[in-house]
Structure 1
Amino acid sequence: MGALGDISSYFPSLRSSATEYHPLPTYDRRYHDENLDSDFPMPTSWRRGRSMKSRRRLALWLCTSSKRLFLFLIVSFSFFITILTGTLKTHRLIEESKEAPYHWEAYPRLDGFYNGIRALVAYKDWIPEQEWPSEAKVSTHNAPPFEPQVVDPFPNFTSAKYLQEYHPVQVCFLDEDEKHPAPDIYAYPSVPAKMAAPVFGDYETLEIASDRCYERFGRFGPYGYSYRREKGGFGLSEHSTYEGTEKVQTIIDKVDYRKVKWGKAQKRCSEKNKKRFSAKGDKKKDGVTLLTMRAMINELSLQSGGEYDVHLLVHVKDNALPIWISEEVYNKTLRENVPEEFRDIATLWSERQLQTYYPGPFLKKDNVANHAGTDIYGVYRAAHFALQWFSQQHQEYDFVWNWEMDIRYVGHYYELLNGASNWAAKQPRKFMWERNSRFWIPDYHGPWQNFSSLVAKETADSGKAPVWGPVTFRAGKYGVLSSPKVTKPPTTFEEDNYEWGVGEAADLITFDPLFDPSKSGWVFRDDVTGYDTSVPTPPRRAAIVTVERLSRRLLNTMHEETWRMHHTMFPEMWAPSIAFHHGYKALYAPHPVYFDRKWPLDVVDKTFNKPSTPADSPFGRGEHNMQGGTFYYNSGFSGALWRRWLGAPENGEGGRKTEESGTGRMCLRPILHHPIKHEVVE
């Protein structure tokens, strides 16, 4: 479905039953937080008669590279949906019919998300649904009142200012004959009337345009959404409304993607622009990244003049295949499992291969707790092994974006990743970890600077010493890996005037808070292996959903910790904890997150930032509070909203007839959706 497609449908021989990501039980007073095996019931407003069982993980690895000061980014895209080796035993502890609704289900449901292109208003005239007058009605036009425009989040590559600092950017093409330049995508320079405002984060802070929205033809039409398969597209728009598509349909270049070889296209683009990334000369160098499929490859690599590369990492489930020692077996497996279009950007790996790469030993006696009950080499507990291995093979990249396959983005990928990277580089290290652990609610806390000052005050009032540089802990008989000298603070905490870290590229960027799992009820908080269990478990941090950017030096340290020290932790906890231990710069990027209910903002703050007990944290028993959001592993609203945006009916709502009789196709502001477990376009 859509231009990105359901990847498992492209790789039928790699499908497998998925392992569940177990949330904690909720509302069942019979169980305390150590009884961790349960499902959450989903709210009725977007329930589809299925449990939240499968957490199919496909990681898309964006790797970033540069020599010395500047970055290249690669993306590596790993098909974790294909690799989960079994389904963990699940129990539904609560019958929905006997359970009281979640407290947030009592709040009014927001429906402005579903307004379409015939209800667009200028951004200056937009009133969020949370502030919408109860008596007011949405005005509907006979046709979209605005024209779609090209989305261009890139620097002006031809300006005199740019060319004074950088080498010229050469135009990149999809084909060798250079008949098809990297395509543009389109958005409306407006916002649907009554669309809700995000609850967490905002656009301007991450340098994302806040005054435009995307509908499906402009977003995915250039990648084959709207034209037939015999012409190289997907032909998915047959049952869609077409109102207002005339301009985009006329402009887009109908590329036959069956003939596109993405790896060769990226290589040609890099070759044409190699001066930009050369260490020689007095011009600045730019960066390179690697993301997913057609949209990501085009928007991050080809349109940027080679700033990003995209690699597709494919997990081979059959451990009997010696893909790492037989070129013949490797190539045969590649041909049989990866579509030709993406074959030249794919890298195969297997768990057996990584057993030889990280032989351990990883002893059971050195494991604090294995809540998943699975093998240490299984991808469910060691997804980072493959990421570290890939980085070791590609030391030319300084940064890696690790992406999960069930992520979707309504917006331009370059704008999101570049904005998050630029924002993170500007942040000081003072009170960094303390800010990281909280959700920023702009309409409650005020601007980012106000929020930062509040965190500093609350930290001082708590009497707890703020984190400053690498943390120390008792290592016991196994010892610890030394931290690099560059992460040692240049001054004392008191002497620093929010200067240390400013202008420094972040070693870790996440899209969820970096919290202390020991002070939560998170189910995998104690899955720590290889450290001396006769002394207290090392301090650690975690970020749920492993969508993150990692620096080469952080990945190298993770590799050394695993290979040399035989240390590892659950994937969501590993990179944040190593960054925490060794004093690397880590940031939670406050991207916009929406909720489907009109929560009172003081309740939002109390629920997500100040839970009454650690077990009730939003990363423990309180995870149910995330179900109505657009970004968390157990969100139900996110997938429902995404499918409605694609034009599919959801729970008896939406679809073609609704769009035709209402305000037209939905038009969403940029939103990072997770998880998307299924996609149907009819």
Structure 2
Amino acid sequence: MDEEESQDDDEEPHWLIYPHLDGYFNGLKAVVPVANYTPEYPRKAQEQPPSPPAVPYAGLPTPKSYAPQPDYNSSAYTTQYHTVKTCYLDEAGKVPAPDVYAYDGVVQGQAEAAMGSYTVLGLRDDVCFDRFGRYGPYGLGYGLDDGGVGAGQDTEKAGSEAVWAATGKIDYARVDWGQAQDRCYAANKHRFVEYDEAGKAKAPTELQDSYRQEKEKLERIAVVIRSYVGFRWTQHAILNFRAMVSELALRSGGEYQVHFLLHVRDDETPIWADAETVQRLLDDNVPAEFHSMCTLWSESQMWLVYPGDFGSAVENPSNGNVRGVYRSAHLALQHFALTHPQYAHFWNWEMDMRWIGSYYELFDRLGAWARNQSREQLWERSSKYYIPAYHGSWDKFTALVRNETEAAGRRPIMGPVTFPGRQMIRSEERGHGFVPVSCARGSDMSLCGVGEEADLVTLNPLFDTEESGWVFAQDVTGYDHSFAPPPRRGAIVTASRLSRRLLQVMHEETWRLHHSMFSEMFPASMALHHGLKAVYAPHPVYLDRAWDLEAIDGAFNGGRDHTSGGQGSSFAMRNEHNHRGTSWYYNSEFAGLLWRRWLGYAQMDGRGTDGGHAEEGTLRGGRDEEEKATSTGRLCLRSMLVHPIKWELPSEKP
């Protein structure tokens, strides 16, 4: 969630002393096999910066179809799982969901991620994506008359026709994405665990033969995109969500289903009383192709679902209502989970996030990695940014966390935590907990929780909010004020995957105990209190400047005991400026600049003799520069998350 930024002083940020990195803006003509790749950054302190890469150019490379889903027709897959039926965009079953395209190799000289890791998460780092390979299959690069969106036709496009060679330019004018997902699930229903209205798995019936029972069934996952009345839909936003539905739902045979949770801000609008009003809201606020994916909600609804007195907050810096979307965005997701028992997990997603790459690869690999994590010191590992060039291998990082925890005299968190004034939820009163049998006393703790689905997967560290300086650290409501506030964890940016059982815990804590915390703190804190499995997934995050490696660790892991939380936290108001040059944080300036350059639009480069500032410097990139004979062409980037993306076309700039 976006928050107001504040700084304690007028001093220039320390990172202005570091030079900008140029390699991001090398293009397709500089793609080389990963074995021949030399990154511009990071490098150790004693190493000299490399010379500008000499790139032999023998013509544009050709992209190849990129499908990170399993080979559903392989014997290895069909032996373990049920048959996957192909899913189509159209009701007649003539147009299958398309492939995306990637280039083998990476661009010479581009920086590597400063934080996070492809290798650790199982993401490929030996391919790159240009704008046409990523979005051309969904309508980028051709006009409305042909069923595209019109965007991309005004950018450099040499060789872009390769992405339509197999399918032609698909006409999306009549696609209904909700119906396409429903048809896909209906064709593949036999693959999935079925749940009753309470969200409990149904037992196999006697009519199911032993062959079908022997094969493993999968749990389904909802991707819940948080939209709102008044959101300005753009051509690129449409492309992004077409890609999400196609890659996650249709290309997976229904493993995922994408929904829009549409916030109706006017509580007087009769969204439960009048179908014509609902249709008008959809017509005015959502492209027709996504209408059937929308669930409407309002804050007045949350007053009905969660009645009663919540008491006062320890602090309420936003002066918002405890049931309001800003302080309690999770309430609508909790209710959504209650009314959609067919899903085991729920990705909470925002409209201003983008992923360069296949969404299936991102979500599938994050889930698999989280599943394989041991609970042993998981909270401690998840409290730090992983900086590979500084920390070394993941094993070394894990050992470092263990040593730091011991040196600090802290007892690792294992299972539910106790604190003065703690109240039990019903399952705890009945003697049922959430810690698996693999964590039983006497077991090998390194295997504790391995193979257990994570209840919470976040995309920033799970930091201790106490004394962190984070503006909403004390936004805690409903607890007995005669005791100190309970222990808390937060994860900035609400994008995360939550399990059904975590959302059920949050729901009960809300309706029965009248507890609440700020949106970016409540899910993680409930997982902490009740012994649920929570993990920060260290996805690749890039920097726009060549920071010293020690400075990265000092800025982002400069909190208590070398973590991201407590005193010195990187999420303190006075420290959040450090995130401006990253590719993933709510106040990032680099994310939008890099994204728009990748889309093919000129941007102010932020360079200057005074260190450089956003929206200043020289206009760089765009069609004229990419088409120059001396240019390396349009950008080709490894898969990465970028946030926030507040505008894309130059004409959309606020």
TM-score by length of 1: 0.83
Paired position in structure 1 for 2:4:
22
The reply on whether 1:675 has 2:644 as its aligned counterpart is yes
Paired position in structure 1 for 2:289:
341
Does the 8 Å contact 1:148/1:187 carry over to 2? yes
The reply on whether 1:505 has 2:453 as its aligned counterpart is yes
Does the 8 Å contact 1:429/1:585 carry over to 2? yes
Paired position in structure 2 for 1:616:
568
Q: Kindly tell me: are residues 144 and 455 of structure 1, through their superposed partners in 2, closer, same or farther at Cα, counting changes over 3 Å?
A: farther
CA-to-aligned-CA distance 1:519-578 (integer Å, 9 cap, x gap): 311000000011111111010100000110000000001001111111111000010000
Paired position in structure 1 for 2:28:
117
Question: How big is the shift at 1:474?
Answer: 1.1
Paired position in structure 1 for 2:520:
572
Does the 8 Å contact 2:597/2:622 carry over to 1? yes
Which stretch shifts more, 650-659 or 544-553? Answer: 650-659
Does the 8 Å contact 1:175/1:260 carry over to 2? yes
The residue correspondences of 1:622-637 to structure 2 (distance < 5 A) are 622-637=575-590
Does the 8 Å contact 2:371/2:452 carry over to 1? yes
Paired position in structure 1 for 2:218:
286
Question: How big is the shift at 1:156?
Answer: 1.1
Paired position in structure 1 for 2:197:
none
Letter in 2 for 1:197: E
Aligned alpha-carbon RMSD (Å): 2.0
Letter in 2 for 1:345: M
Which stretch shifts more, 143-152 or 169-178? Answer: 143-152
**CA separation in 2, counterparts of 1:320 and 1:225?**
39
Question: How big is the shift at 1:496?
Answer: 4.1
The residue correspondences of 1:655-670 to structure 2 (distance < 5 A) are 655-661=622-628, 662-670=631-639
Q: Secondary structure at the match of 2:156?
A: coil
**CA separation in 1, counterparts of 2:436 and 2:219?**
27
The reply on whether 1:452 has 2:401 as its aligned counterpart is no
Q: Kindly tell me: are residues 666 and 133 of structure 1, through their superposed partners in 2, closer, same or farther at Cα, counting changes over 3 Å?
A: farther
Which stretch shifts more, 600-609 or 537-546? Answer: 600-609
**CA separation in 2, counterparts of 1:575 and 1:110?**
36
Question: How big is the shift at 1:489?
Answer: 6.8
Letter in 2 for 1:199: A
Q: 1:544 is matched with which residue: 487, 492, 498? A: 492
Question: How big is the shift at 1:404?
Answer: 1.3
**CA separation in 1, counterparts of 2:50 and 2:395?**
36
**CA separation in 2, counterparts of 1:135 and 1:475?**
58
Question: How big is the shift at 1:140?
Answer: 4.2
The reply on whether 1:203 has 2:150 as its aligned counterpart is no
Q: Kindly tell me: are residues 640 and 143 of structure 1, through their superposed partners in 2, closer, same or farther at Cα, counting changes over 3 Å?
A: farther
CA-to-aligned-CA distance 1:243-266 (integer Å, 9 cap, x gap): 222322433432221200011111
Paired position in structure 2 for 1:469:
415
The reply on whether 1:392 has 2:338 as its aligned counterpart is yes
**CA separation in 1, counterparts of 2:470 and 2:646?**
22
Q: Which runs of 5+ in 2 are unaligned?
A: 195-203, 205-212, 226-240, 605-618
Q: Kindly tell me: are residues 318 and 523 of structure 1, through their superposed partners in 2, closer, same or farther at Cα, counting changes over 3 Å?
A: same
The residue correspondences of 1:39-50 to structure 2 (distance < 5 A) are none
Q: Which runs of 5+ in 1 are unaligned?
A: 1-18, 29-98
Question: How big is the shift at 1:447?
Answer: 1.2
Paired position in structure 2 for 1:72:
none
Paired position in structure 1 for 2:380:
434
CA-to-aligned-CA distance 1:582-635 (integer Å, 9 cap, x gap): 000000001000001111112211221134895532100211111110011111
CA-to-aligned-CA distance 1:359-411 (integer Å, 9 cap, x gap): 13122xx3100001122222111111111110010122110000111111101
Q: Kindly tell me: are residues 367 and 144 of structure 1, through their superposed partners in 2, closer, same or farther at Cα, counting changes over 3 Å?
A: farther
**CA separation in 2, counterparts of 1:135 and 1:142?**
20
Paired position in structure 1 for 2:592:
639
Q: 2:532 is matched with which residue: 584, 602, 607? A: 584
Q: 2:432 is matched with which residue: 452, 470, 485? A: 485
Does the 8 Å contact 1:468/1:493 carry over to 2? no
**CA separation in 1, counterparts of 2:133 and 2:345?**
30
Question: How big is the shift at 1:487?
Answer: 2.3
Which stretch shifts more, 610-619 or 117-126? Answer: 610-619
Q: Secondary structure at the match of 1:258?
A: coil
Question: How big is the shift at 1:141?
Answer: 5.1
Question: How big is the shift at 1:328?
Answer: 4.8
**CA separation in 2, counterparts of 1:481 and 1:518?**
28
Q: Secondary structure at the match of 2:243?
A: helix
Letter in 2 for 1:619: F
Question: How big is the shift at 1:197?
Answer: 0.7
Task: State how many pairs are aligned.
Answer: 590
Paired position in structure 1 for 2:475:
527
Paired position in structure 1 for 2:91:
176
The reply on whether 1:219 has 2:186 as its aligned counterpart is no
Does the 8 Å contact 1:514/1:541 carry over to 2? yes
TM-score by length of 2: 0.87
**CA separation in 2, counterparts of 1:493 and 1:590?**
30
Does the 8 Å contact 2:600/2:634 carry over to 1? yes
Paired position in structure 1 for 2:358:
412
Question: How big is the shift at 1:331?
Answer: 3.9
**CA separation in 2, counterparts of 1:156 and 1:167?**
13
Does the 8 Å contact 2:220/2:342 carry over to 1? no
Paired position in structure 1 for 2:238:
none
Letter in 2 for 1:174: L
Question: How big is the shift at 1:287?
Answer: 3.8
